[in-house]
Amino acid sequence: MSRSTRVNSQPRPGRAGSDLAEQFRAIAEMHGDIAWVLDCYTGKVLYLSQSAIPMAGFDVHDIESQLLDPDAAGPLAPLCAGLQERLRRFSGGDLSRKRLVRCHELRTAGGRTIPVEVTSTIMTDASGAPDTLVGTVRDMSEVHARMDHQRRFTSMLNHEFRTPLSTIDGAIQRLEVTGADADDATRQRYRKIQVAVDRLIAMMDEYLSPERMAEVGAARPADSVSPALLLEEAADQVRASGRAVDLEIGTLPPRIRCQPNGLRVAVKVLVDNALQYSPGDSPISLGARQADGGITLTVRDRGNGVPPADLARIFDKRYRGSNAAGFGSGLGLYMARSVIDVYGGTVSVQNVAPRGAEFRIWLPTGSGTGKCVAPKVINSDNSRE
């Protein structure tokens, strides 16, 4: 096996760059991480933070013995295993092996278990061969504790909200059954209460269910989405409601950086709004294209449009327009704007001829200057007071 694909015990001359090495150590240890540097050729540990000993109880000699023994099965094996295979694949052109982030359960010298995140990067010499492996070990105990606390808190909320809602749900069902002789206005009130309860229960099932909490931390969430796919999903939403849809997708980047579910919620709010405020036999128009260093998503209906007096306030928290119909909290469009704000985008509305309203989302993309991620104007839910 060649020099670049295995750890061996042959000596090598010293290397320059001590200043850069010191800078790496300082940066890596700034937040309490354990920093380390390994010689890919000899398998020697060139540097190991002193904090590794009190945290895990192991020193340099313990780590080197695990690295140099291919059959090692001690407590450090999860951290040290696979190095030779990784170097072999990297030397063969597999660049995905250059930087890795892995999570392990580290069994300390004292017998307890610590969840750790190990980040490592292969550094190469002038010829492109593996030279050193640098990395950090981060104790994830506090992160896991916070996640457990969040799950317990969410479970408590689920229980505390669901109990009174179940009571209301049962009561309103009995009223509807026994109130057959009630007038139309009373029956409408019963129906609004039932719709509100169903909506709140559905939200808890979506966001506060044990299944959703089990997903927290189970896998790294997606951090990008295809804008074309986003619009296709919105079109499916329109079709599922029994309405026609006009879909126009222009040239778009393959993916944009975002939290996909958050952006899906924002688009869904606009589509729901279009369905609610337009005739049932009219189509909904959806469009997407590149514009102004980003992408624009549009949702257009053929309703009566937004009353001019409401245009400036329609995205405000708890604001319902003068033509609002049915049950609503005034939070849907506000939530959509809040999501888009997070990604440095904008959402706007304008009335269009001959009739209807068009809602427009603009989002920055990586290919251009884009916008500042945080809005310059601090809204009421993000104030300093």
Mean pLDDT by 10 residues, the chain (385 residues): 42 49 62 76 76 68 62 57 80 85 77 82 87 83 81 75 80 77 84 82 71 53 80 92 92 84 88 89 93 91 88 81 59 83 86 92 65 38 37
List, in order, residues 6 or more apart from 251 with CB less than 8 Å away. Answer: 289, 290
Q: How far apart are CA 285 and CA 270, in angstroms?
A: 12
Q: How far apart are CA 284 and CA 301, in angstroms?
A: 5
- pLDDT of amino acid 10: 47
Residue 40 · residue 130 · CB < 8 Å: yes
**How crowded is residue 353: how many other Cβ atoms within 10 Å of its Cβ?**
6
- pLDDT of amino acid 380: 36
Q: How far apart are CA 322 and CA 340, in angstroms?
A: 25
What would the two tokens of residue 224 be? 């990008």
User: Measured between alpha carbons, how far apart are the two ends of the chain, in Å?
Assistant: 64
Q: Is the C-alpha dihedral spanning 272, 277, 283, 284 positive or negative?
A: negative
**How crowded is residue 80: how many other Cβ atoms within 10 Å of its Cβ?**
19
Give the E-state strand segments of the chain in sequence order: 34-39, 45-48, 99-107, 113-124, 130-139, 224-225, 245-249, 256-257, 284-291, 294-300, 346-351, 357-364
Q: How far apart are CA 334 and CA 340, in angstroms?
A: 10
On the question of a cis peptide bond just before residue 354, with omega within 30 degrees of 0, the verdict is yes
Q: How far apart are CA 138 and CA 140, in angstroms?
A: 6
What would the two tokens of residue 250 be? 């222009």
The pTM of the full predicted model, rounded to 2 decimals, is: 0.43
Cα-based angle 242, 248, 249 (whole degrees, multiple of 5) = 120
**How crowded is residue 259: how many other Cβ atoms within 10 Å of its Cβ?**
16
| 3-class DSSP state of 50 | coil
Q: How far apart are CA 7 and CA 65, in angstroms?
A: 12
